[in-house]
Chains A and B, each alone.
Chain A
Amino acid sequence: MNKFAGMALGAMMASGAQAQETVVWWDFLGGGDGIRMKQMISDFNAQHEGKIAIDATTLDWGLPFYTKVQTSVAVGEAPDIMTYHASRIPLAVKQGLLEEITPEDWSAMGLGKDDYAPSIWDAVSIEGKQYAVPLDTHPIVLYYNKDVLEAAGLLTEDGKPKGLDSREAFTATLQAIKDAGSVKFPLGSVTADGNFMFRTIYSLMGQQDGELMTDGEFLVGDNAGKLENALGVLQEWTREGLQSTYTDYPATVALFTSGEAAMMINGVWEVPTMTDLQKDGKLFEWGAVELPVIFDHPATYSDSHAFAIPTGSDLSAEKRAAVLEVIGWISHNSLYWATAGHIPAYKAVTDSDDYKAMEPNATYSSLTANMIYDPKTPLAGIAGPIFDVMSTYFVPTLNGEMEPAKAVEEITYELNDM
């Protein structure tokens, strides 16, 4: 009997070793970064022909994606590997959606804690265990139109905008652009989308060492005041006509790329939009720098794309090895991913000379030292409940309908009421 079982097992293993493993992959990378990821996948497939093939699907970003993951895990139809935002990991772990990436997995991939910045490593860890492999960090940056700023005499010698070091100086720069009169808006802001503005406002809170959540409570002590300060600056810009009002995300990008807005605060993921447009000769000279210091010190909100393995699909040993090979390969080759604007999480890549020569990445990569992540709570994260509460009060405040103090009061009430 034993002999037969042994033979059967041997036969299975032999066939397993020969058969090609198909890794089912889901991502939500639908923009310029999605095109680059598809290129990486096809490179991977070419290099692993006959051994591993990635079967990739791109799904709708945000809540639809995370809802689908939840239901697919529940019915055992989840993919073998998926992209995930680091900010969503606390909720996913609470819901039991993610498999732990064990120390054995890390060594199989040839990766480990020392390969990542501490803030990134921490963002994928819950109580000392890791639940995803970080691919990148994608903070927000300040894009600017070099032609317009130069004409107004607002560029420094190294080609950066003037006035990046204080609230007064930056407001003065915006005012000078307005006075020059060559553009409709000095700053294009996503003022109709509080979800997006969370990133800017949280950055401005971070510049004052503000915390959204302290020991499970929201906006404790002077943190409410710090949020009010952040909202106050942005409202002032609206009142002075320095930024676009009621502008949604696509309109913001359109205002900037059409030259109607001289600057724009947006994610690094718009870098491919700019490089691709410029390649076709349809864009002015542009640059991207770390956010200006409006308050005490530099700080920028960031999130990470990471790879996660959903629970409940019971991967065979071979399949798991194939999945780890995929994640490891993509991480080790993430220099190309940087052309999507993102900052690769794998240190060996960002330390390389090739990366240091990349523009505009090199100009803003200094900000990795100043990154702040979402608070670690199941309520946080991209398209999560905190976003909805914030958005509801950010939109009227940023457009001058509501006073910052009132907004902070309402936000505090609603957040603590969840």
Chain B
Amino acid sequence: MIRNVRREALVAYVLIAPFVAVYGLIFVYPTIDMFVLSFQDAPLIGPGEWVGVENYTRLPGDRRFDTAVWNTAYFVLLTVVPGMLVALGIALSISRLSGRLQSLVMALFFLPYILPVSVVYRIWDWTLNFQFGIAMHVFDMIGLDRVPIFKITTWFIPAVAFVTIWWTCGFSVLLFLAGMRAIPGEIYEAAALDNTSRWRMFRHITWPLLWPVTALVLTIQLILQLKIFDQVYLFSQGGRPNDNLVMVYYIFQRAFMNDQGGRAAAIAVVLFVMVIAISVLNFQLMRFSDRRE
């Protein structure tokens, strides 16, 4: 049978058309709109007067923008690599267990991940409440001064980072476990015959063979944590919101609270560019270190 290439191409176009259309409608068009909006003095809804790059030029002198950038960076620093290490540690421990016990422990570590953010917020807000929190009674018992964790700036971002790792590391644990199961048992067997120590086994077998999974975990976490919003917003309630700002929170504040859609869009563009730049950089670094292995 003679293949009708043009006809096949046509079918292909028809088949992908709905997806392209949806992609264009809910991603490409809003993204372009965001860029356009960032050059306008627009309210939350609808366009505004054209102001050129003013929304951008005022960002460097904007105190709250500074806070948002630093807090986001600090948060990423505290969550991405530490979260990955915690997940790896848990996964290595779980992989030593077997049978029902393994499934049970795995389920227990995964459990927080299925909770909605509002529940996570409630649990930790109750635990660490300055007047009534359980943790504060523990502080009293061991003779420490109570600490208003979510109400002072020193502790806010580290505490939110801790809660985030507690909440989300279950998913990374699953990825690591899947990665470990994909490593053939014969390799370990051969190593064991050579009398290899546990540390060397981890250093020279598990870690390199797990690298693709590690790279995946790091990339997912990095992109996710740069866009942190909900935990920070919830834990800031009533406290010191402007000291706790992160990028997405600041976008939300400008857009929904101050009714400044244009200025919000400019910050969103900055975050968008940041995420792309950091992801590309991250990906290149991973590829580089991959080759070196």
CB within 8 Å of A: which B216-251 residues: 237-243
B238 touching A246, Cβ below 8 Å: no
Question: Complex Cα distance A192/B150, Å?
Answer: 9
Q: Nearest chain A CB to B62's CB is how many angstroms away?
A: 8
Return chain B residues, CB-CB under 8 Å to A74: 45-46
Given contacts A94-B259, A388-B241, contact A414 B63 (CB under 8 A): yes
Asked if B131 and A384 make an inter-chain contact with CB atoms under 8 angstroms apart, the answer reads no
Interface magnitude class on chain A: 35 or more
Smallest CB–CB gap between B179 and chain A, Å? 40
The residue on B at minimum CB distance from A389 is B242
Any B CB within 8 A of the CB of A1: no
Contact A254 B132 (CB under 8 A): yes
List the B side residues contacting A379 at CB < 8 Å.
258
How far does the alpha carbon of A378 sit from the alpha carbon of B260 in the complex, in Å?
A: 12
**Min CB–CB distance A20 → chain B (angstroms):** 33
Question: A251, B131: Cβ atoms under 8 Å?
Answer: yes
B139 at interface (Cβ–Cβ under 8 A)? no
Chain B min CB distance to A26 (Å): 17
Residue B129 interfacial (CB < 8 Å): yes
Q: Which secondary structure dominates where chain A touches chain B?
A: helix
Q: How far is the CA of A236 from the CA of B31 in the complex (A)?
A: 52
Residues of A within 8 A of B132 (CB): 251, 254
Find the B residue at minimum CB distance from A75. Answer: B45
- B interface footprint on A268-288 (CB within 8 Å = 1, 0 otherwise): 000000000000000000000
A255 CA to B258 CA, complexed, in Å: 34
Within 8 A of B (CB), among A234-287: 244-249, 251, 254-255
Given contacts A244-B131, A417-B63, contact A194 B240 (CB under 8 A): yes
B217 to chain A, nearest CB (A): 33
Q: Mark A404-418, 1 if CB is under 8 A from B, else 0.
A: 000000000010011
Closest to A394 in B: B240
CB distance from A302 to the nearest CB of B (A): 20
Closest approach, in angstroms, between the C-beta of A49 and any C-beta of chain B?
Answer: 38
Chain B 257-271 per-residue mask, 1 if CB under 8 angstroms from chain A, else 0: 111000000000000
A-B contact pairs, 26 of them (CB 8 A): A70-B44, A74-B46, A95-B259, A192-B148, A193-B239, A194-B238, A194-B239, A195-B238, A246-B148, A249-B238, A251-B131, A254-B132, A378-B259, A379-B258, A385-B253, A385-B257, A388-B253, A391-B238, A391-B239, A391-B241, A392-B240, A392-B241, A393-B240, A395-B239, A395-B240, A417-B63
Query: What is B's interface to A at a CB cutoff of 8 Å?
Result: 43-46, 63, 129-132, 148, 151-152, 237-243, 253, 256-259
